[in-house]
Amino acid sequence: GAGVSQSPSNKVTEKGKDVELRCDPISGHTALYWYRQRLGQGLEFLIYFQGNSAPDKSGLPSDRFSAERTGESVSTLTIQRTQQEDSAVYLCASSLLPPQETQYFGPGTRLLVL
Amino acid sequence: AQTVTQSQPEMSVQEAETVTLSCTYDTSESDYYLFWYKQPPSRQMILVIRQEAYKQQNATENRFSVNFQKAAKSFSLKISDSQLGDAAMYFCAYRTPRIQGAQKLVFGQGTRLTINP
């Protein structure tokens, strides 16, 4: 079946602009995660959605970052007033109900803030 | 907080030979999951192998196997008969098995594996 998809694949923006990144999880996956990967680094957890429960936002680095998810479908990650340090690859993952289930990743969105 | 350390930023191996990638972690929990993910230039994170901490037997997936030493908090990945397609960044990751809350993965910094023909 179809895997996790993300759009856009690449995004170049100017400092101070807002950007919106999209994630389409695998159908039926109740859990959805956003991670950030800076150049040459491992992944950092940003936010987690599980069904209709309140999201875990503990990894969001500042109040410029926010994310939404409607039910068990698409999620969007929004970064307001982008800064150069926001440049990174943003990866989305989904899974069936934790904790046993493996997370499956999308190809990521590479964000470059000029 | 849990941490994952990969002490080898880069490794290289001759095609068809065996290579071992190291990973150590720090946790106070007794039950957890460990993973190795592969990230080729396409950026897609691909699950290579997973290990449940309560299982004493080391996980294996075809040419990939792990050496899980729970007391030492060590989780190395062995790739046998290396192939050119194995070239990628490899990430070790830890996850708590808590029922509630984020089942977030905690990643190491990665090891870049090069396969020499």
pLDDT digits (tens, 9 = 90+) for B62-102: 999 999 999 999 999 999 999 999 999 999 999 876 655 56
Interface test with B, best of A44, A103, A110 (most B CBs within 10 A): A103
Residue-wise burial string across A19-39, b where 16 or more C-beta atoms lie within 10 A, e elsewhere:
bebebbbbeebbbbbbbbbee
Chain A: residue whose CA lies nearest to B52: A100
**Cα atoms found within 13 Å of the Cα of residue A110, Cβ hemisphere only:** 7
Percent of the residues in chain B that have a pLDDT greater than 90, as a whole number: 75
Inter-residue contact A10 to A88 (CB < 8 Å): no
CA distance A15 to chain B (A): 24
Inter-residue contact B111 to B89 (CB < 8 Å): yes
* Element holding B102 (H helix, E strand): none
pLDDT band at A53 (very low <50, low <70, confident <90, very high): confident
The neighbour count for residue B71, using CB atoms within 10 Å, is: 5
pLDDT of residue B1: 74
Beta strands at B88-95 and B111-116: parallel, antiparallel or unpaired: antiparallel
pLDDT of residue A42: 87
pLDDT of residue A70: 84
User: Cβ separation of B104 and A105 shorter than 8 Å?
Assistant: no
Of A47-61, B26-40, B62-76, where does the model show the most confidence?
A: B62-76
Q: What's the DSSP call for residue A25?
A: P
Q: What's the DSSP call for residue A93?
A: E
SS3 content of chain B, % helix, strand, coil (to 5): 5, 50, 45
Between B30 and B22, the higher pLDDT residue: B22
pLDDT of residue A19: 98
The whole-angstrom separation of Cα A74 and Cα B46 is 21
**Cα atoms found within 13 Å of the Cα of residue B91, Cβ hemisphere only:** 23
User: Cβ separation of B110 and A104 shorter than 8 Å?
Assistant: no
**Is the minimum CB–CB distance between A5 and chain B shorter than 8 Å?**
no
Is A23 strand, coil or helix? strand
pLDDT of residue B31: 85
Average pLDDT over chain A, rounded to an integer: 92
The whole-angstrom separation of Cα B7 and Cα B22 is 7
pLDDT of residue A1: 56
pLDDT of residue A65: 97
The whole-angstrom separation of Cα B47 and Cα B61 is 11
CA distance A25 to chain B (A): 14
